[in-house]
Chains A and B, each alone.
Chain A
Amino acid sequence: MCLAVPGRVVEIIDAGDIAFRRAKVDFGGVRKEINLAYTPEAEVGKYVLVHVGFAISVIDEAEAQRVFQYLEELGALKEELGEIPQ
Protein backbone atom coordinates (compact mmCIF):
# COMPACT_ATOMS: atom_id res chain seq x y z
CA MET A 1 0.00 0.00 0.00
CA CYS A 2 3.00 2.27 0.47
CA LEU A 3 3.87 1.81 -3.20
CA ALA A 4 4.87 5.08 -4.85
CA VAL A 5 5.94 5.55 -8.45
CA PRO A 6 8.12 8.26 -10.04
CA GLY A 7 6.61 10.20 -12.93
CA ARG A 8 7.49 13.33 -14.94
CA VAL A 9 5.41 16.49 -14.57
CA VAL A 10 4.23 17.53 -18.05
CA GLU A 11 1.65 20.22 -17.26
CA ILE A 12 0.57 22.08 -14.13
CA ILE A 13 -3.08 22.99 -13.61
CA ASP A 14 -3.52 25.75 -11.05
CA ALA A 15 -6.85 25.74 -9.28
CA GLY A 16 -6.74 28.69 -6.92
CA ASP A 17 -6.24 27.09 -3.49
CA ILE A 18 -2.95 25.16 -3.25
CA ALA A 19 -4.94 22.18 -1.88
CA PHE A 20 -6.42 21.66 -5.35
CA ARG A 21 -3.23 22.25 -7.42
CA ARG A 22 -2.81 19.41 -9.90
CA ALA A 23 -0.51 18.23 -12.66
CA LYS A 24 -0.56 15.90 -15.61
CA VAL A 25 2.16 13.38 -14.80
CA ASP A 26 3.70 10.94 -17.29
CA PHE A 27 4.51 7.42 -16.05
CA GLY A 28 6.45 5.84 -18.91
CA GLY A 29 3.79 6.85 -21.44
CA VAL A 30 0.70 6.63 -19.20
CA ARG A 31 -0.60 10.05 -18.12
CA LYS A 32 -2.59 10.68 -14.96
CA GLU A 33 -3.82 13.76 -13.17
CA ILE A 34 -2.06 14.04 -9.80
CA ASN A 35 -2.59 16.35 -6.81
CA LEU A 36 0.42 18.63 -6.19
CA ALA A 37 -0.68 20.17 -2.87
CA TYR A 38 2.25 18.63 -0.98
CA THR A 39 4.98 19.45 -3.51
CA PRO A 40 4.70 23.21 -4.13
CA GLU A 41 8.25 23.11 -5.55
CA ALA A 42 7.26 20.73 -8.40
CA GLU A 43 7.86 22.13 -11.89
CA VAL A 44 7.25 20.94 -15.44
CA GLY A 45 10.04 18.51 -16.39
CA LYS A 46 10.78 17.44 -12.79
CA TYR A 47 10.10 13.93 -11.52
CA VAL A 48 7.68 13.50 -8.62
CA LEU A 49 7.08 10.43 -6.46
CA VAL A 50 3.35 9.63 -6.60
CA HIS A 51 1.29 7.71 -4.04
CA VAL A 52 -2.52 7.19 -4.35
CA GLY A 53 -2.97 10.26 -6.53
CA PHE A 54 -0.65 12.61 -4.60
CA ALA A 55 2.91 13.73 -5.30
CA ILE A 56 4.70 13.23 -1.97
CA SER A 57 8.24 14.20 -3.01
CA VAL A 58 10.20 15.76 -5.86
CA ILE A 59 13.01 13.37 -6.87
CA ASP A 60 16.47 14.79 -6.16
CA GLU A 61 18.26 13.92 -9.39
CA ALA A 62 21.75 14.45 -7.98
CA GLU A 63 21.04 12.15 -5.03
CA ALA A 64 19.58 9.61 -7.45
CA GLN A 65 23.08 9.11 -8.87
CA ARG A 66 24.69 8.50 -5.48
CA VAL A 67 24.56 4.71 -5.46
CA PHE A 68 26.15 4.60 -8.91
CA GLN A 69 28.91 6.95 -7.78
CA TYR A 70 29.47 4.65 -4.84
CA LEU A 71 29.72 1.63 -7.10
CA GLU A 72 32.16 3.53 -9.26
CA GLU A 73 34.24 4.20 -6.17
CA LEU A 74 34.31 0.49 -5.54
CA GLY A 75 35.81 0.24 -9.01
CA ALA A 76 33.10 -2.18 -9.85
CA LEU A 77 31.38 -0.48 -12.72
CA LYS A 78 34.65 0.65 -14.28
CA GLU A 79 35.83 -2.92 -14.35
CA GLU A 80 32.57 -4.02 -15.89
CA LEU A 81 32.95 -1.37 -18.58
CA GLY A 82 36.57 -2.39 -19.18
CA GLU A 83 37.80 1.14 -18.43
CA ILE A 84 40.58 0.07 -16.12
CA PRO A 85 43.08 -2.71 -16.72
CA GLN A 86 42.08 -6.05 -15.15
Chain B
Amino acid sequence: MTDLISIAVTTVVLGSIYGLVAIGMTMIYGILRVLDMSQGSMVMVGGFVGWGIMTSAGWSPIVALVAAFAACFALGVVTQLVSVQPLIGRRGVDFEMITFITTFAVAIVFSNVALQIWGAGQHPVPNIVSGSVELYNGVNLTYQSMLMAGVSIAIMIAFGVFLTRSRYGIAVRAIAQDVDAARLMGVPIKRVFPVVMGFASALAGIAGVFLAGQYFASPTAGDQPLLIALIVVVFGGLGSLPGTIVAAYAIGLIQASASTLIGTTWALPILYGVILLVLLVRPQGLLGRPMEARL
Protein backbone atom coordinates (compact mmCIF):
# COMPACT_ATOMS: atom_id res chain seq x y z
CA MET B 1 0.00 0.00 0.00
CA THR B 2 2.81 2.37 0.91
CA ASP B 3 4.50 1.51 -2.35
CA LEU B 4 1.34 2.03 -4.34
CA ILE B 5 0.71 5.47 -2.90
CA SER B 6 4.27 6.58 -3.32
CA ILE B 7 4.21 5.33 -6.93
CA ALA B 8 1.01 7.25 -7.57
CA VAL B 9 2.45 10.43 -6.12
CA THR B 10 5.70 10.15 -8.06
CA THR B 11 3.79 9.38 -11.25
CA VAL B 12 1.75 12.56 -11.01
CA VAL B 13 4.77 14.73 -10.23
CA LEU B 14 7.08 13.23 -12.85
CA GLY B 15 4.35 13.01 -15.46
CA SER B 16 3.43 16.67 -15.08
CA ILE B 17 7.02 17.83 -15.50
CA TYR B 18 7.61 15.53 -18.46
CA GLY B 19 4.39 16.77 -20.00
CA LEU B 20 5.57 20.36 -19.67
CA VAL B 21 8.78 19.64 -21.60
CA ALA B 22 7.20 17.26 -24.08
CA ILE B 23 4.23 19.36 -25.22
CA GLY B 24 6.72 21.96 -26.41
CA MET B 25 8.59 19.36 -28.40
CA THR B 26 5.48 17.83 -29.86
CA MET B 27 4.18 21.26 -30.84
CA ILE B 28 7.45 22.11 -32.60
CA TYR B 29 7.34 18.81 -34.44
CA GLY B 30 3.69 19.17 -35.39
CA ILE B 31 4.11 22.65 -36.79
CA LEU B 32 7.67 22.79 -38.08
CA ARG B 33 8.45 19.11 -38.62
CA VAL B 34 11.53 19.61 -36.47
CA LEU B 35 12.51 17.29 -33.65
CA ASP B 36 14.12 19.99 -31.56
CA MET B 37 17.15 18.59 -29.78
CA SER B 38 17.86 21.97 -28.14
CA GLN B 39 14.90 21.57 -25.75
CA GLY B 40 17.14 19.85 -23.20
CA SER B 41 19.41 22.90 -23.20
CA MET B 42 16.41 25.06 -22.39
CA VAL B 43 15.74 22.95 -19.29
CA MET B 44 19.40 23.39 -18.36
CA VAL B 45 19.31 27.17 -18.94
CA GLY B 46 16.10 27.42 -16.91
CA GLY B 47 17.91 25.69 -14.06
CA PHE B 48 20.79 28.14 -14.16
CA VAL B 49 18.45 31.12 -14.32
CA GLY B 50 16.73 29.74 -11.23
CA TRP B 51 20.08 29.30 -9.51
CA GLY B 52 21.27 32.80 -10.46
CA ILE B 53 18.13 34.51 -9.28
CA MET B 54 17.17 32.50 -6.22
CA THR B 55 20.55 31.36 -4.89
CA SER B 56 22.95 34.08 -6.01
CA ALA B 57 20.69 37.12 -6.02
CA GLY B 58 18.29 35.85 -3.40
CA TRP B 59 15.22 37.09 -5.22
CA SER B 60 11.75 35.62 -5.22
CA PRO B 61 10.96 32.40 -7.07
CA ILE B 62 8.33 34.26 -9.07
CA VAL B 63 11.07 36.43 -10.56
CA ALA B 64 13.02 33.26 -11.36
CA LEU B 65 10.08 31.69 -13.19
CA VAL B 66 9.39 34.84 -15.18
CA ALA B 67 13.06 35.32 -16.02
CA ALA B 68 13.45 31.67 -17.08
CA PHE B 69 10.39 32.02 -19.29
CA ALA B 70 11.75 35.18 -20.92
CA ALA B 71 15.32 33.96 -21.33
CA CYS B 72 14.34 30.64 -22.85
CA PHE B 73 11.74 32.29 -25.09
CA ALA B 74 14.49 34.49 -26.52
CA LEU B 75 16.91 31.58 -26.89
CA GLY B 76 14.24 29.52 -28.61
CA VAL B 77 13.53 32.29 -31.12
CA VAL B 78 17.25 32.68 -31.82
CA THR B 79 17.67 28.92 -32.20
CA GLN B 80 14.84 28.82 -34.72
CA LEU B 81 16.24 31.73 -36.73
CA VAL B 82 19.75 30.28 -36.76
CA SER B 83 19.26 26.56 -37.13
CA VAL B 84 15.84 25.99 -38.69
CA GLN B 85 14.64 29.00 -40.68
CA PRO B 86 17.54 28.99 -43.19
CA LEU B 87 16.82 25.35 -44.05
CA ILE B 88 13.10 25.70 -44.79
CA GLY B 89 12.41 24.93 -48.41
CA ARG B 90 16.05 24.06 -49.17
CA ARG B 91 16.24 21.59 -52.03
CA GLY B 92 17.94 18.23 -52.03
CA VAL B 93 18.10 17.85 -48.25
CA ASP B 94 16.10 15.76 -45.85
CA PHE B 95 14.66 18.62 -43.77
CA GLU B 96 13.74 16.46 -40.77
CA MET B 97 17.14 14.85 -40.50
CA ILE B 98 19.11 18.01 -41.15
CA THR B 99 17.22 20.08 -38.57
CA PHE B 100 17.54 17.23 -36.12
CA ILE B 101 21.29 17.64 -36.59
CA THR B 102 21.38 21.47 -36.51
CA THR B 103 19.32 21.71 -33.32
CA PHE B 104 21.57 19.01 -31.90
CA ALA B 105 24.55 21.23 -32.78
CA VAL B 106 22.90 24.12 -30.96
CA ALA B 107 22.45 21.86 -27.93
CA ILE B 108 26.15 20.95 -27.99
CA VAL B 109 27.06 24.64 -28.09
CA PHE B 110 24.67 25.61 -25.27
CA SER B 111 25.77 22.91 -22.86
CA ASN B 112 29.47 23.55 -23.47
CA VAL B 113 29.12 27.30 -23.15
CA ALA B 114 27.33 26.66 -19.85
CA LEU B 115 30.20 24.38 -18.88
CA GLN B 116 32.67 27.17 -19.63
CA ILE B 117 30.72 29.76 -17.66
CA TRP B 118 29.55 27.82 -14.63
CA GLY B 119 31.84 24.78 -14.59
CA ALA B 120 30.88 21.13 -14.34
CA GLY B 121 29.78 21.35 -10.71
CA GLN B 122 26.25 21.00 -9.44
CA HIS B 123 24.69 24.22 -8.28
CA PRO B 124 22.04 23.89 -5.60
CA VAL B 125 18.75 25.67 -6.19
CA PRO B 126 16.37 26.10 -3.28
CA ASN B 127 12.90 24.69 -3.38
CA ILE B 128 10.30 27.30 -4.12
CA VAL B 129 8.28 26.21 -1.11
CA SER B 130 9.49 24.02 1.72
CA GLY B 131 7.72 21.54 3.90
CA SER B 132 5.66 18.49 3.18
CA VAL B 133 2.54 16.69 4.21
CA GLU B 134 2.36 13.04 5.23
CA LEU B 135 -0.15 11.26 3.06
CA TYR B 136 -0.01 7.78 4.41
CA ASN B 137 2.25 5.90 6.70
CA GLY B 138 5.58 7.46 5.82
CA VAL B 139 4.71 8.57 2.30
CA ASN B 140 5.46 12.28 2.18
CA LEU B 141 4.36 14.70 -0.44
CA THR B 142 6.51 17.84 -0.46
CA TYR B 143 4.83 21.14 -1.15
CA GLN B 144 7.44 21.67 -3.85
CA SER B 145 6.19 18.56 -5.69
CA MET B 146 2.63 19.67 -5.26
CA LEU B 147 3.46 23.10 -6.64
CA MET B 148 5.42 21.58 -9.56
CA ALA B 149 2.56 19.32 -10.52
CA GLY B 150 0.01 22.08 -10.00
CA VAL B 151 1.81 24.68 -12.05
CA SER B 152 2.60 22.20 -14.82
CA ILE B 153 -1.00 21.06 -15.04
CA ALA B 154 -2.21 24.67 -14.98
CA ILE B 155 0.16 25.56 -17.81
CA MET B 156 -0.95 22.58 -19.84
CA ILE B 157 -4.60 23.50 -19.37
CA ALA B 158 -3.94 27.12 -20.25
CA PHE B 159 -2.09 25.94 -23.30
CA GLY B 160 -4.98 23.73 -24.32
CA VAL B 161 -7.37 26.68 -23.98
CA PHE B 162 -5.02 28.83 -26.04
CA LEU B 163 -4.90 26.23 -28.80
CA THR B 164 -8.63 25.69 -29.04
CA ARG B 165 -10.03 29.15 -28.30
CA SER B 166 -7.64 31.86 -29.40
CA ARG B 167 -7.03 33.20 -32.87
CA TYR B 168 -3.35 32.32 -32.99
CA GLY B 169 -3.95 29.02 -31.22
CA ILE B 170 -6.28 27.79 -33.94
CA ALA B 171 -3.93 29.20 -36.56
CA VAL B 172 -1.00 27.28 -35.08
CA ARG B 173 -2.95 24.03 -35.35
CA ALA B 174 -4.01 24.95 -38.86
CA ILE B 175 -0.40 25.45 -39.94
CA ALA B 176 0.43 22.02 -38.60
CA GLN B 177 -2.14 20.53 -40.96
CA ASP B 178 -1.80 22.51 -44.17
CA VAL B 179 0.80 25.25 -44.45
CA ASP B 180 -0.40 26.48 -47.86
CA ALA B 181 -4.02 26.76 -46.87
CA ALA B 182 -2.99 28.61 -43.70
CA ARG B 183 -1.16 31.12 -45.87
CA LEU B 184 -4.25 31.61 -48.02
CA MET B 185 -6.06 32.48 -44.80
CA GLY B 186 -3.46 35.19 -44.22
CA VAL B 187 -1.54 33.52 -41.36
CA PRO B 188 1.97 35.05 -41.23
CA ILE B 189 3.83 31.75 -40.93
CA LYS B 190 7.28 33.33 -41.03
CA ARG B 191 6.47 35.10 -37.77
CA VAL B 192 4.58 32.21 -36.21
CA PHE B 193 7.43 29.68 -36.59
CA PRO B 194 9.96 31.47 -34.33
CA VAL B 195 7.27 32.31 -31.80
CA VAL B 196 6.22 28.66 -31.57
CA MET B 197 9.78 27.58 -30.89
CA GLY B 198 10.27 30.41 -28.42
CA PHE B 199 7.13 29.47 -26.56
CA ALA B 200 8.00 25.76 -26.40
CA SER B 201 11.47 26.66 -25.14
CA ALA B 202 9.96 28.89 -22.48
CA LEU B 203 7.90 25.97 -21.17
CA ALA B 204 11.06 23.87 -21.01
CA GLY B 205 12.76 26.71 -19.14
CA ILE B 206 10.03 26.72 -16.48
CA ALA B 207 10.36 22.97 -16.14
CA GLY B 208 14.09 23.59 -15.71
CA VAL B 209 13.55 25.85 -12.68
CA PHE B 210 11.42 23.18 -11.02
CA LEU B 211 13.77 20.32 -11.84
CA ALA B 212 16.77 22.29 -10.57
CA GLY B 213 14.98 22.68 -7.24
CA GLN B 214 14.50 18.92 -7.15
CA TYR B 215 18.05 18.08 -8.27
CA PHE B 216 20.72 20.68 -9.20
CA ALA B 217 21.53 23.18 -11.89
CA SER B 218 24.38 21.79 -14.01
CA PRO B 219 25.46 21.85 -17.66
CA THR B 220 24.23 18.29 -18.14
CA ALA B 221 20.95 18.84 -16.30
CA GLY B 222 19.10 18.89 -19.62
CA ASP B 223 20.34 15.57 -21.00
CA GLN B 224 18.00 13.26 -19.17
CA PRO B 225 14.91 15.48 -19.55
CA LEU B 226 15.66 15.64 -23.28
CA LEU B 227 15.87 11.86 -23.59
CA ILE B 228 12.70 11.41 -21.61
CA ALA B 229 10.88 14.10 -23.57
CA LEU B 230 11.95 12.37 -26.79
CA ILE B 231 10.59 9.11 -25.47
CA VAL B 232 7.35 10.75 -24.36
CA VAL B 233 6.88 12.49 -27.69
CA VAL B 234 7.51 9.37 -29.74
CA PHE B 235 5.56 7.18 -27.34
CA GLY B 236 2.55 9.50 -27.61
CA GLY B 237 2.68 9.63 -31.39
CA LEU B 238 4.62 12.57 -32.81
CA GLY B 239 2.59 15.74 -33.05
CA SER B 240 -0.39 14.45 -31.08
CA LEU B 241 -1.00 16.67 -28.05
CA PRO B 242 -3.42 14.41 -26.13
CA GLY B 243 -1.13 11.47 -26.90
CA THR B 244 1.82 13.37 -25.50
CA ILE B 245 0.08 14.13 -22.22
CA VAL B 246 -1.10 10.53 -21.80
CA ALA B 247 2.40 9.33 -22.63
CA ALA B 248 3.98 11.73 -20.14
CA TYR B 249 2.02 10.18 -17.28
CA ALA B 250 2.53 6.66 -18.62
CA ILE B 251 6.29 7.19 -18.69
CA GLY B 252 6.11 8.74 -15.24
CA LEU B 253 4.27 5.64 -14.03
CA ILE B 254 6.80 3.24 -15.55
CA GLN B 255 9.70 5.16 -14.08
CA ALA B 256 8.06 5.51 -10.68
CA SER B 257 7.21 1.80 -10.47
CA ALA B 258 10.62 0.69 -11.67
CA SER B 259 12.52 2.83 -9.19
CA THR B 260 10.22 2.04 -6.28
CA LEU B 261 9.94 -1.69 -6.87
CA ILE B 262 13.28 -2.63 -8.47
CA GLY B 263 15.74 0.17 -7.87
CA THR B 264 16.75 3.51 -9.31
CA THR B 265 19.66 2.15 -11.37
CA TRP B 266 17.33 -0.03 -13.39
CA ALA B 267 14.65 2.60 -13.94
CA LEU B 268 16.12 3.84 -17.22
CA PRO B 269 16.97 0.47 -18.79
CA ILE B 270 13.48 -0.73 -17.99
CA LEU B 271 12.01 2.44 -19.43
CA TYR B 272 13.91 1.95 -22.67
CA GLY B 273 12.95 -1.70 -22.72
CA VAL B 274 9.28 -0.76 -22.50
CA ILE B 275 9.72 1.78 -25.30
CA LEU B 276 11.32 -0.85 -27.51
CA LEU B 277 8.36 -3.13 -26.90
CA VAL B 278 5.78 -0.40 -27.52
CA LEU B 279 7.41 0.62 -30.78
CA LEU B 280 7.51 -2.99 -31.89
CA VAL B 281 3.80 -3.41 -31.29
CA ARG B 282 2.65 0.08 -32.29
CA PRO B 283 5.24 1.64 -34.60
CA GLN B 284 3.31 4.91 -34.77
CA GLY B 285 3.24 5.48 -31.01
CA LEU B 286 0.33 5.30 -28.59
CA LEU B 287 -2.15 7.71 -30.16
CA GLY B 288 -0.35 8.45 -33.41
CA ARG B 289 -2.16 7.70 -36.61
CA PRO B 290 -0.61 4.90 -38.66
CA MET B 291 1.11 6.04 -41.82
CA GLU B 292 -0.97 5.13 -44.80
CA ALA B 293 0.55 2.42 -46.95
CA ARG B 294 3.09 4.21 -49.03
CA LEU B 295 1.98 2.72 -52.32
**A and B form one complex:** no
A-side interface residues toward B, CB under 8 Å?
Answer: none
B-side interface residues toward A, CB under 8 Å?
Answer: none
